[in-house]
Structure formats: structure tokens, C-alpha cells
A and B are shown apart, each in its own frame.
Chain A
Amino acid sequence: MGISSSTVSITQYTVQGKLNSQVIDTVADGLTKHTIVDIDQQVIDRAVGWTSFDKPFQPDFSGSSFVYGNYFVFSLRIDKKNITAKVLKKHYTVEAARRMSESGRDYLSKTEKKLVKDHVQNALFLRIPATPNVYDVAWNFEGSSLCFFTNLKAANEELETLFSKSFRLSLIRIFPYTAADIYSNLKDSQRDDLRNISPAPFVN
């Protein structure tokens, strides 16, 4: 789901901190260093990284290609290989039977069972292509605000972690308290009032 979709979800953030100089180069560097790595035909089951907004399966941040007016526009990609429990069980059962037959025993030790399970899982991870999920990011650098085009909790957590790692800046998620604190231009006394408010029922 993203900027171009017919309906979208948006989680809003404020970006805390500033990049001192050579902003575009610094952002390009952060994006490049943490670009998504292709995990197809690898034993890895999950990868998280940045990708290009316009070419999510051929990431390329060269030539300021992520700069759109006052915005930096790019995407978070989360690739995951999913093996269903039934598929895993099927392959495990076949492999366990083969090993027992080879050893002439009718049982496997706890350690052997774990080794078989790991072996089967790794063999499947090698064969299964990862499913990519792409979530767009629009970062208004001047306004220190950022829109993330999903409300999924796991994706938001990945964004917050990767953003901090890539740019050494923090993202503050907008929810009622942070919105009140950031959007309302409160004086110190009003900020104290905000901190002390409690629910006020509309009916008795």
C-alpha cells in the first residue's frame, strides 16, 4: 500500500533532530547502506531495508532519485519467507523417516530431531522465494514530518528502528498525547494542564 494506491493508511511522525550539512548526500548514504538485500536462494527467512519508491524491486538511490520537491520519498521493504506448519511437518516427517532408516533405529534423539528440523527449514528457505511487502515513506525534511503509508504495528516498529539506524534521527509517532504536545504550541503552564487532564464524561 502506498502513495499511488486508490485508498491508503497513514501513520504520522515528527522527525526529531536535524542533519547538519550535505543533507541529500547524508540521506542517500543512509538509504544505500541499509538497502534491502535480496534473500532468494539464501537460507535467510527475513530481510528489512530501504528500496526506491519508483522501482521497489531494483533499489537505486543514485542521482538524488529519492528527492521530490521538499520531500524525500522512498519505501521500506520487508521480505519474508513463509513456510506453513503443514509443509514443514510433511518435509520433517519424510526426512526423519529417512534418517531413522539409514541409522537402523526407530527413534531420533531430541538433538537429532532439532537438527532435522533445522535442516528441513533451511532447505525450504533456499527453495522458497521471499514475499515482499513495500510501504512508502514521504519525509518532509523542512517540516520535520514524515508520513508512513501503513498502520501495521510491525511495519511501524521496523520503520522506527531502521530510520534511527540509517540517519541517527528519532521518529516520534503521532498519537493523541504527542499530537497535543507538538501541534498545539502550548505554553509551559498549558503543558502542565495537559499532563494532568483526565477523562471527562459528556453525560452524568
Chain B
Amino acid sequence: MLDVAVAYNRYKFLGEEFLTWLWYVIEKNQNLLKSFDPDFVGLEVGNRIVFENRRKESAERITIKGEGAGLEEGVLALKNGALVTELNMVYRSAELVWQFTLKGESLNISSLSIPQTDLPESEEDLEGYVLEKLFLYDKLLQFFKILFGHFVKLRISNNWHGKETASIRKWIQSS
């Protein structure tokens, strides 16, 4: 394993490529996501996308806010060489809904709201309450663990530089 600080900075692009690929998957390949969760209903872009373009002399940062954060401005940013650095998403599984923001460089999760649970009425209810909350956090984390693992295998495969990148490029150009 590499030094932590070196590995963090050297490979943060991997998280940003993951979010950019994920946006493409959300738009074009929901079937892939279904294979990671038997109860999968949908994964959508939420109320915020942040892009960063480091190909320009001074890195350019673009934030798009609002429900169903905009495709057009975002695609324009991608066309100019930007990557998604933060993505707010809505995840639906069975009857339940999670909303959260995932940051590319750290894979940190923020602004996470999980399905509502009943408050404990007594001290005896506390354990059940905590375990239900932890189950709901874990459900989301496990989904993303499998999804990121899939992405990494794809990213280091020959398929990435062939079919997958071509499909993403086609999506960007045609949107």
C-alpha cells in the first residue's frame, strides 16, 4: 500500500472519473444498477452537481444547484473537459428513499438523509432504533461499495479504453 497522503492526491481523479461515469450510467444504463440491488428502483441526480475542469490554466469550478440539477450546463462542462467532483443523488430501493452527496476525491458522504424511522419511546427501544438506523446507512454504503468495486474493475480493463469510453464520449457529444 502506498503512503496515504500520496495515494490520496495521486488517485483522486479515480473518484471524479467514477462520479462522471456514474452520471452517464444514471442517464443511460439503469439496468446495470439493478444488478447490484435486487430491490433497486432508481438512482437519480439530486439537487447539486459540482464540476471541475483542471485542463484549463486555472482550475475552473462550476456548481449547478436545483432539483434535478441541470443536464445541459453539466454536459457543456463535460464537453469542455470537466469532471464531476461532487454529485447529489437520490437512491430508491423497495419503498425507501435516500438522498446524499458523494464527493469524488474522498468518497465522503454528506447531507445524507435516510428513510424515516420511529423515535424510540423508551430506553428499551433504543437498541432497535439504533440498529434500524445503522441498517439503513449500511444499505446505501454497501450499494456504493459494490458499484465502486465494479467501476474499478471496468476502469483497469481493456473494455474501458474501448467500448466504455466511446459510449460515454458519444453520450456527451449527443446530449
Contacts and interface: CB of A to CB of B under 8 A. Distances in A.
Contact of B104 (A151, A176, A177, A185): A176
Main secondary structure of the interface of B (DSSP, over half): helix
B127 A176 contact: no
A9 B108 contact: yes
B156 to A, nearest CB: 4
Contacts of B13: 176, 198-199
Contacts, number: 136
Given A7-B112, A151-B110, A200-B17, A180 B134 contact: no
Contacts of A6: 113
A41 interface: no
Contact of B155 (A7, A71, A147, A197): A197
Given A181-B1, A202-B169, A73 B11 contact: no
B131 interface: yes
Q: Interface size bucket, A side?
A: 35 or more
A93 interface: no
A12 interface: yes
Contacts of B127: 68-69
Contact of A12 (B104, B141, B165): B141
Interface in B1-30: 1-2, 4, 7-8, 10-15, 17-18, 20
A51 B25 CA distance: 42
Contacts of B153: 184, 186, 190
A56 B71 CA distance: 44
Interface residues of B, number: 54
Contacts of A195: 2
Given A10-B112, A185-B149, A194-B152, A176 B18 contact: yes
B148 A179 contact: yes
Contacts of B92: none
A3 B14 CA distance: 29
Interface in A11-30: 11-12
Nearest to A53: B130
B37 interface: no
B107 interface: yes
Contacts of A140: 138
Given A197-B155, A203-B78, A176 B107 contact: yes
Contact of B2 (A173, A177, A200): A177
Given A7-B111, A11-B108, A54-B126, A180 B141 contact: no
Interface of A: 3-4, 6-12, 53-54, 68-69, 71, 73, 138, 140, 147, 151, 173-181, 183-186, 190, 193-195, 197-203
